[in-house]
Every structure is written in C-alpha cells, then in structure tokens.
Amino acid sequence: MRDHRASQASHRVGRTTWHAPVDRPGPLASISETASRSGAKHALVCDRDGVIVENRRGYILRPRHLRLLPGAVGALRLARAFGALIVIVSNQAAVGHGLLSEVGAMRLHTRLLGMLMRRGVDVAASFLCPHAPRDRCPCRKPASGMIEEALSALALKPADCFLVGDALTDLMAGRAADLRSGLVLTGRGHEQLASVSEDHPVFADLEAAARFAVGLWTSRQVDGPV
C-alpha cells in the first residue's frame, strides 16, 4: 500500500528534532515523543511572538531578541499543572523574506524551548511556518494547517483546546480549526483589538488567558463530559 505521508527531512538542533516536508510547502515541526504518548486531553495552543515572547517589528532574528513576556512562564506552568499540553504555532515570515534561514529559525526556537525548559515548562509541539504570504502555503495563519497537524500529532480534539493569539489572524486560524480562541493585549494585541469580533474573549496577557482556559476545562470536568 502506498504511504500517503509526504517525505520529510529531519534536522537535529541540540536535543530537538525538527521535521520539514520536502515535496510540498509545509511547516517546520518539532513534536515531543513523551507528549504524544501522554494521553493528555487538553492543550493551550499559543502563538509565539507577542504572546510568549515580546513581539519585534523587525522580526525575531537573534537570540537576544527572545525576551519572555512577564507572566508568560507562570501561564504555561499553570496549564501544565492542570495537565494540559503546550503547543506553539508561529508564522515566521522572516524566513520567506530571506532574513532568516530555516535552520536559523529552528535554532532560535529551540533556544526558546531551552529557556522555557529551564523554567520548568516543557512544550509538547512547535510548528513554524517559514513562508511569506506570496507562497500561498497551507500553514501560514490565518490558515489552520499548523493547528490541525499539531492536534492530529498529539491526538487532541479541537473542543478540548484553547488558542491564544495577539492578532486577528491567530483567531481566524483557531476558528478555522474549530478551537475556542482568545486575544491577548500584549504584542500586537492592542492594535488588533478593533478588528476582533466581540465573541472572542480578550485578556490582558497569557496568564489571564491560561487562567480562563483552565477554568473552562475545570468547569467542564465538574459538569461531566461535554
């Protein structure tokens, strides 16, 4: 029988293995083996720039540009303490625009994973879209490709996940993948607020968003399966 999976190239960066499809446009992906076997039911699906780390207008291109937002680590710890997985889905158009190589983007993100790990946060899966808008790839948000691949890799249901982003395109991607989503006012959040419809909750930061998501999941457990 034919293998329908596209062939993938693997890149080892430190202790992290990255995969990239070679015969079609797709995201760079790093998925924790332990997380995919954990049987966890919930996930906090986070945009990266402007949500976990400070947004940077000229793109995040160097390690020194990776600055954790206040409260971000606490937020991710809260979700992990509940048993939810952390998933990061990030457009990295700097690659598509030639400002950063694919390997450079993987290295930078791996560095962030190390920063989080040293603070007690293990990330279950990271997906980076290395394309520019003109590439018309299925992964660049507002498309839902990265979210769908992440959920499938971790055997998660959209209804059990909550997406947090600082841009309308994040929320659109979440909606396209049937996830509940909320906007944070960090990063580009303030300037995006006017374009976000009222049915999305708005949070000061990732910490408030994580508290909301955990509250939602806890109340569902009390109410029984929904």
112 binds, among Zn ion, Mg ion, none (CB under 5 to 8 A by kind): none
Residues 90, 78, 148, 110, CA torsion sign: positive
- In the annotation, is 49 catalytic? yes
Q: Which of 172, 162, 201 is nearest to 184 (CA)?
A: 201
Q: Which of 156, 180, 153, 93 is nearest to 128 (CA)?
A: 93
- In the annotation, is 47 catalytic? yes
Q: Which stretch binds Zn ion (CB under 5 A): 98-106, 138-146, 161-169, 191-199?
A: 138-146
Q: Are strands 125-129 and 202-203 parallel, antiparallel or unpaired?
A: unpaired
Q: Quote the DSSP letter at residue 63.
A: G
Q: At what angle do helices 206-223 and 72-82 cross, to 10 degrees?
A: 20
131 binds Zn ion (CB under 5 A): yes
> Could you count the other beta carbons within 10 Å of the beta carbon of residue 222?
6
The site string for Mg ion over 38-77 (x = CB under 5 A, - otherwise) reads: ---------x-xx---------------------------
150 binds Zn ion (CB under 5 A): no
> Least CB distance from residue 62 to Mg ion, whole Å?
18
131 binds, among Zn ion, Mg ion, none (CB under 5 to 8 A by kind): Zn ion
47 binds, among Zn ion, Mg ion, none (CB under 5 to 8 A by kind): Mg ion
Give the nearer residue to Zn ion in terms of CB position, either 25 or 74: 25
140 binds Zn ion (CB under 5 A): yes
Region label for 109, one of left (φ > 0), alpha (ψ between -120 and 50) or beta (otherwise):
alpha
Give the nearer residue to Mg ion in terms of CB position, either 40 or 88: 88
Please give the Cα distance from 152 to 158 (Å, whole number). Answer: 10
Q: Which stretch binds Zn ion (CB under 5 A): 53-61, 101-109, 123-131, 180-188?
A: 123-131
> Least CB distance from residue 41 to Zn ion, whole Å?
28
126 forms bridges with which residues in the sheet?
30, 88
Give the nearer residue to Zn ion in terms of CB position, either 103 or 193: 103
163: its two tokens: 């997406």
Cβ atoms 192, 168 nearer than 8 A: yes
Looking at the annotation, which residues are catalytic? Answer: 47, 49
Task: Note the residues at the interface with Mg ion (CB under 5 A).
Answer: 47, 49-50, 166
